[in-house]
Structure 1
């Protein structure tokens, strides 16, 4: 991000500028950076716009007119050292790389969704009012989140993790109609055991995972895989797009259920 872009961002933030207004603002900033003094009429002629358009922009930015805006812009440019621009570029580039990586992984996750599984998932939410949630390790974050959401939507839910005993799980699972489990690797023994118990009790089992080829994936009735960049290295403690993309997937499915009238928002 260069200095011009940084100043433009400062002015444009929360102003809802259209593209034409951004182009005018960018031009005025650039000319000020180059030390060129432009009257409003000369600026309008160079931009092929009316002076009214420039005045409207200045007022939208919170200034009384063009003169006040140009004065403020001069102060802002004077306070912007070259080193700051270089510093911001060092932040912007890796930030943009990570943004693209995270969004690409979510896009791949979304495109890999089995739409039949999505339809069956929605049917299960419509059919079952008693849902048991289960997660291991960091996956408890997802089970806690979805369980709390479903509880707010009026469902009867229970949520447990690997800290609960097998006997406790066995006693509780028989009260429920649907089992939703989160397991990043899909190979945690305690999770595999709970999936088998749930299936033996006749519950439809839905798995959210980072490993669609796992043991749990082979056991579950429905599988929703999320791209996991650590799937081969098995370094699950790395900060990756997996966690945020999992949350996006959950909210995408919930939004679809609400849109179709399966879930009622209070």
Structure 2
């Protein structure tokens, strides 16, 4: 019997971008997802039931019941993952970050960032706040004005009133599915359409990306399956690699644009 990972590999040429995002979400929590009904999984992942059925067919599964079985089997296999070298796992994920970055068309984001007089940053959670502060520091070093907002909705609303045309608001939130944050950003959309919203979340469709002008994604490294680690040992180091790639390439792009403009003058 083929494992789920083997089925995914064999079907990789048939999978659309939407399918790949769905696979990523399924494998992020195989145990939890395997315990949900079709309707519950559809609601959790913000995809239609038919999209899940289509994926089952592409993977050669008989239906949703077999998908649930394979997800549970995947979880059981990862429970013994402690024999895998942590260095190899980290290197593999960081390699994936680089590959993902190479396939992302950065120029529209760079143009938006170039126009922004001020870049505001808002985050949810302690780890995301550290990432937001890191982004602010890196942007400052390449000449951008930044303001890191406290994690309070009142501050988010004030940002909406302060913002000028083409200013940018970067939202750093791991899940991307915080309902209250989604509601607040929707209000900002209605009251201030001058502000460009950028989401930085884990890969896959979510509420925050659905209302963002630009969607950026970062992976994490889950060490919780290794013996001796806690159940929530998650590393956010791939996010910092992604930010480094993005900001450094922006700086090169910015300098290239400046040289071209000087050459035309």
TM-score normalised by the chain length of structure 1 = 0.53
Contact 2:170 2:197 in 1 (8 A): yes
* CA distance in structure 1 between the partners assigned to 2:91 and 2:181 by the alignment: 29
Q: Which runs of structure 2 are paired with 1:235-254 in the superposition (5 Å)?
A: 238-241=232-235, 243-254=236-247
Query: Which residue does 2:151 correspond to in 1?
Result: 162
Residues 116 and 105 of structure 1: CA distance in aligned 2, closer, same or farther (over 3 Å):
closer
Which protein has the larger Cα radius of gyration, Structure 1 or Structure 2?
1
SS in 2 for 1:261: helix
Partner of 1:215: 207
Give the conservation status (yes or no) of the 8 Å contact 2:142–2:251: no
Instruction: Give the alignment partner of residue 92 of structure 2, picking from 97, 104, 112.
Output: 104
With the length of structure 2 as denominator, give the TM-score of the two structures.
0.53
Shift of 1:176: 6.3
Aligned-residue offset at 1:238: 2.3
Q: Is the 8 A contact 1:195 1:220 kept in 2?
A: no
Work out whether residues 123 and 132 of structure 2, in 8 Å CA contact, stay in contact via their aligned partners in 1: yes
CA distance in 2, matches of 1:258, 1:156: 14
Q: Look up the match of 1:153.
A: 142
Secondary structure in structure 2 of the residue aligned to 1:258: helix
In structure 2, relative to structure 1, the CA distance for the partners of 1:106 and 1:161 (3 Å cut) is farther
Moved over 6 A (4+): none
Query: Matches of residues 66-145 of structure 1 in structure 2 within 5 Å?
Result: 97-113=85-101, 115=103, 117-137=105-125, 138-145=127-134
2:140 and 2:256 mapped to 1: Cα distance?
11
Give the distance between the partners of 1:252 and 1:124, measured in 2 at CA: 17
Structure 2 counterpart of 1:89? none
Stretches of structure 2 lacking an aligned partner (at least 5 in a row): 1-81, 258-265
Q: Size of the alignment, in residue pairs?
A: 166
